[in-house]
Structure 1
Amino acid sequence: MHNSKTLIKSENAGRYLQTLCKHFSRKVPAEWDEQTGKVNFAMGDCEFTYSKKDNELTVHCNADSQDKLSTIQKILEQHVTMLSRRETISIVWSNL
């Protein structure tokens, strides 16, 4: 299994959790509440954890190949960029 993680620090981190999960739920299975979320892409899964205290959203992704994991990462990067028009968010992935 291939795993990666990124941390999104933003005053809007909670909104990103809600908006990303809701958006992805239109095409793939997703579930979420105010602090956590899970999206099941065809190529792998992502779990979201929001910390209100730290204003950050942690994203863990996993897939059974590096190519599939890279695809998930690109999808998330594109969507975060689209949602964060009013602020610049840099996404740096760490392989676990």
Structure 2
Amino acid sequence: MESIATVATDRPERYLKQLCAHLGRKIKADYTDTEGTLTFDAGLGQVTATPGMLTLRASADNPENLAVVEDVLGRHLEGFGQRDGLQVVWERTTA
């Protein structure tokens, strides 16, 4: 299962680095300035920075685990981007 969220921001690289570095304290996180991969027990998170946009992808074996990955990625990004009004809205791409 997979879901995707796109978040408009003037600072996508900053948020990618902040999200990956923060979560990397507890889980495996590999990232560059434009791409990041976060390995959760529940599934996988991918973050991509492009001009004006941060794209989040969550994948897992079942709906419950997918919800966990979505929650962690979305909650943390919204917390970091509270001042900029960042909002994460997930769209599931597979049933």
Equivalent residue number for residue 91 of structure 1:
88
Return the alpha-carbon distance in structure 2 between the equivalents of residues 74 and 24 of structure 1: 13
How many pairs are equivalent?
93
Return the alpha-carbon distance in structure 2 between the equivalents of residues 6 and 74 of structure 1: 12
- 1:68 corresponds to 2:65: yes
Q: Give the superposition deviation at 1:11.
A: 0.6
Question: What do you get for the CA RMSD once the two structures are aligned?
Answer: 0.9
Structure 1, unaligned stretches of length 5 or more? none
Return the alpha-carbon distance in structure 2 between the equivalents of residues 92 and 50 of structure 1: 17
Equivalent residue number for residue 9 of structure 1:
8
Provide TM-score, normalisation by structure 1: 0.91
Q: Give the superposition deviation at 1:72.
A: 1.1
Larger mean Cα displacement after TM superposition, 85-94 or 39-48: 85-94
Q: Percent identity?
A: 26
Provide TM-score, normalisation by structure 2: 0.92
- 1:28 corresponds to 2:27: yes
Return the alpha-carbon distance in structure 2 between the equivalents of residues 64 and 25 of structure 1: 22
Return the alpha-carbon distance in structure 2 between the equivalents of residues 95 and 85 of structure 1: 24
Q: Give the superposition deviation at 1:85.
A: 2.4
Return the alpha-carbon distance in structure 1 between the equivalents of residues 42 and 15 of structure 2: 22
Return the alpha-carbon distance in structure 2 between the equivalents of residues 94 and 17 of structure 1: 20
Structure 2, unaligned stretches of length 5 or more? none
Contact 2:78 2:88 in 1 (8 A): no
Q: Give the superposition deviation at 1:94.
A: 1.1
